[in-house]
């Protein structure tokens, strides 16, 4: 299905996730800039420990839209369940996650390619299902939540994570001020499908919501070179040909038009914990 919102355009998924180095470059630039906000995989582990009745004896843990497997590996290392399965639609990311797991022999983790709208697990088979920073790629997130409901075992817990609609708006302002995309501030949020403001309601379509936590994450990019590493692969903007995907050219353009100074920006990160209707079933 095509959409004007790049994150909802299934035809562009290969562009975003067809190469692990693109996601790694983008994530690393953002993590280097982070000045406040906890590490998300560890926060997910903390929520599981707090909300599952027997976190030390977990069976199957499913990590949807696992990307490069960072959360899956943390869940396996911290919780030692019977097995963590990371599921992602992008073959390149699954391959990369498997490569990382091979360097940690004995860890109960594996990775499968699949679509989170149709989970390859029996009903009532998962103690934990995690969906972090991925449901905003679905035009039908309620269908994914219904699948999670089907997959959850009695007493099972789902942890959802997403970002606020106006995340990184200071970047939009800079992109517009630099003349790189004059409409940057008017463009629709990439997180329109599932964001901090509707995550609990989306989860509540099929599940009982136990807790909603918001955490503000702040980022300070050193200057144009650092910012360009992140901006160059941001599909939100309509950049001139040659700039999209090219951090060097983008940084050079920024240096020409704006004084080089740090940029601070924010994103609200929201965690929702939910369980099957009726609690312990
Ligand atoms: C921003 S990454 C998030 C990765 C990881 N969960 C994290 O927290 O870092 C979004 C991931 O969702 C995956 N994805 C998008 N649509 C999907 C679908 N229909 N089924 C499974 N994975 C999907 C993408 O391939 C990508 O790896």
> Domain range holding 56?
6-167+188-221+266-276
Q: Which atom of ligand 1 is nearest to the CA of 67?
A: 27
Query: What would the two tokens of residue 229 be?
Result: 């590493």
273 touches 159 (CB < 8 A): yes
Q: Is 183 inside a domain boundary?
A: no
User: In this predicted structure, which of 1-15, 19-33, 103-117, 192-206 has the lowest mean pLDDT?
Assistant: 1-15
Rg (CA), the chain: 19
CATH of residue 99's domain is 3.40.50.150
- Nearest Cα residue to atom 18 of ligand 1: 115
pLDDT one-digit tens code per residue, 29-69:
999 999 999 999 999 999 999 999 999 999 999 999 999 99
Is 195 within a domain? yes
Instruction: With respect to residue 43, please indicate whether it lies within any of the assigned structural domains.
Output: yes
Ligand 1 in reach of 133 Cβ (< 6 A): yes
Task: Give the angle subtended at the CA of 247 by the CAs of 263 and 66, to the nearest 5°.
Answer: 85
Residue 124 maps to a domain = yes
The ligand 1 atom at the shortest distance from the C-alpha of residue 27 is 9
Tally of structural domains, the chain: 1
β-bridge mates for residue 263, sequence order: 221
* C-alpha 258 – ligand 1 centre gap (Å): 34
pLDDT in tens, 86-138: 999 999 999 999 999 999 999 999 999 999 999 999 999 999 999 999 999 99
Residue 115 resides in a domain: yes
């Amino acid at each position: 299905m095509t959409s004007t919102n790049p994150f909802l355009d299934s035809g562009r998924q290969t562009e975003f996730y067809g190469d692990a180095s693109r996601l790694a470059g983008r994530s690393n630039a953002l993590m280097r800039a982070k000045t406040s906000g906890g590490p998300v995989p560890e926060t997910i582990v903390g929520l599981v420990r707090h909300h599952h009745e027997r976190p030390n004896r977990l069976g199957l843990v499913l990590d949807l839209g696992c990307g490069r497997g960072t959360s899956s590996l943390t869940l396996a290392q911290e919780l030692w369940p019977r097995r963590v399965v990371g599921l992602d639609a992008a073959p390149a990311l699954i391959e990369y996650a498997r490569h990382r797991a091979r360097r940690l022999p004995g860890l109960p983790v594996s990775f499968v390619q699949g679509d989170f709208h149709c989970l390859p697990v029996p009903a009532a088979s998962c103690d934990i299902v995690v969906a972090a920073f991925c449901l905003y790629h679905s035009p039908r997130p309620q269908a994914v939540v219904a699948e999670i409901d089907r997959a959850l075992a009695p007493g099972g817990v789902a942890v959802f994570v997403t970002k606020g609609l106006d995340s990184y708006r200071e970047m939009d302002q800079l992109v517009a001020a630099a003349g790189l995309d004059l409409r940057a501030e008017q463009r629709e949020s990439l997180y329109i499908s599932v964001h901090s403001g509707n995550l609990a309601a989306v989860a509540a379509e099929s599940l009982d919501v136990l807790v909603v936590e918001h955490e503000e994450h702040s980022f300070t990019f050193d200057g144009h070179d650092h910012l360009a590493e992140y901006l160059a692969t941001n599909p939100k903007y309509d950049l001139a040909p040659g700039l999209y995907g090219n951090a060097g050219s983008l940084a050079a353009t920024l240096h020409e038009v704006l004084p080089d100074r740090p940029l601070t920006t924010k994103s609200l990160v929201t965690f929702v914990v939910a369980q099957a209707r009726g609690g312990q079933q």
